[in-house]
Amino acid sequence: MIEEQELYFELFDAGNIVRLEPLKLIAYDADLDWDKNWVKTTVTVKGGKFSGQYSGDMMTVDFEKFNRFKLVDDISAVQIIFNDSD
- What is the pTM assigned to this prediction? 0.65
First to last CA, the chain: 39
Reading phi first (left if > 0) and then psi (alpha if -120 to 50, else beta), residue 83 is in beta
Confidence band, pLDDT 50/70/90 cuts, at residue 51: very high
Q: Is the pLDDT of residue 40 over 80?
A: yes
What does the alpha-carbon distance between residue 11 and residue 9 come to, in Å, rounded to a whole number?
7
Q: Is the pLDDT of residue 42 over 90?
A: yes
Residue of 58, 61, 54 whose CA lies nearest to 40: 58
Boundaries of every domain in the chain: 9-69
Residue % of the chain over a pLDDT of 70: 71
Lowest-confidence region among 18-22, 58-62, 73-77: 73-77
